Structure 1
């Protein structure tokens, strides 16, 4: 089978071809999966793959278009300047997943996400042209938990007059970053706060391990934009 990967609104679409048959499976930022295409053996196979992923029954690792072992190298290729801490926690998340520790994978993925978002916020603040506004935002960010820092960053960014013109990148804060950031944070908190046994689906965690690469790539694209163009608020 041949496949092509493309980005659509709120999801990554994998279009699969086998002979004359074509079907696709969409992996949404929330972790949900949706199969599309005409009735065929190929579509039936994708439906079985979807069910296998959602149940965490073991098959998806071998069936992923990009093998899970290649994820760290894919991240390095797409984000050559990726921070070592982000990469280390991402690799630990993969090790946990392959060891069948879904909770460990969720926790490590949340840590990797937090570091990436902190780098994004730091890059944004450093690029603010007006010193007074930069210092005011720094004061609001000081000693706050990650969720509050992200809220302060978003509130400032909403009034930013120097947002990127690229349509996909301009929409990513609300569409991809918000959804992914909150998913990674909530799943990590579900593990890190031992009030109840966390309800984590192995297939959803796997889907978001793959989505993490795109998430970090967008974060670094925004960071480069802030550095090159400055931030006017």
Structure 2
């Protein structure tokens, strides 16, 4: 759970991700800090639990851009630039370019989410995005289990995740991964599991359940769903980075 306001954090992640910004996310007192980098430029955008936003860093074009992000969110626009239809159309191509081995099922549901969004079906987009996320997390967990180097530990892990709902399966994966002795040293992959992946997985699962369990009319913000369509590309990129690490280095638990 982020220290910052969850809804605003989701919008910021989406804005940074859809603009291919190199960024890291960390928790500070009463806030979530998004530190962005562009060449030698570094600036940060802090999202407080109250929803307040604050930009930090030396004067630079990057800081100006983050200030535009801040002002746009405060005005309710959801990001620094309203994505044009042509830009949204490029999302599947961008995903293929950044993750060439992306699973066809993940890609199909992602494309369906975009079709729903363009048809002004926000609930449909949220549901399809949640399905794409669930498939990707299944692939991540399966790759982790297959890469466990000790047969007895592999079978024990598989028995714990077998035939469980995705949220329980993910919790079992996180618990096992916490004790993993062969974690990646790449700062992006080593930090994102408990930051970007956790937050994104929770958002995609929550919004899918809000649509798929018809107790109440879901309260879905179109701007947040759009932001997380853009964020999905970074999310899948990180998942496949972890999958490749497990396959190449094995899993020691």
For this structure pair, what is the TM-score category when the shorter chain's length is used for normalisation? 0.7 to 0.9
Of the three residues 9, 16, 24, the one matched with 1:8 is: 24
- Give the TM-score, by structure 2 length: 0.75
Whether 1:136 aligns to 2:147 is: no
Root-mean-square deviation (CA, aligned residues, Å) is 3.1
Partners of 1:53 and 1:77 lie apart in 2 by 28
**What secondary structure is seen at the aligned counterpart in 2 of 1:53?**
coil
User: Residue 181 of structure 2 contacts residue 252 of structure 2 at CA under 8 Å; is this kept in 1?
Assistant: yes
User: Residue 102 of structure 1 contacts residue 205 of structure 1 at CA under 8 Å; is this kept in 2?
Assistant: yes
Superposed counterparts of 1:69-218, under 5 Å: 69-218=89-238
The offset of 1:167, in angstroms, is 1.6
Change (3 A) 1:200 1:125: same
Query: Structure 1 regions of 5+ residues with no counterpart?
Result: 16-23
Query: Structure 2 regions of 5+ residues with no counterpart?
Result: 1-18, 27-33
Partners of 1:96 and 1:33 lie apart in 2 by 31
Change (3 A) 1:104 1:125: same
- Please list the CA deviations of residues 108-148 of structure 1 after superposition, one character each: whole Å capped at 9, or x if unmatched: 00000000000000000000001011101111111100000
- Please list the CA deviations of residues 163-205 of structure 1 after superposition, one character each: whole Å capped at 9, or x if unmatched: 0011221111101110000000000000000000000000011
- Give the TM-score, by structure 1 length: 0.81
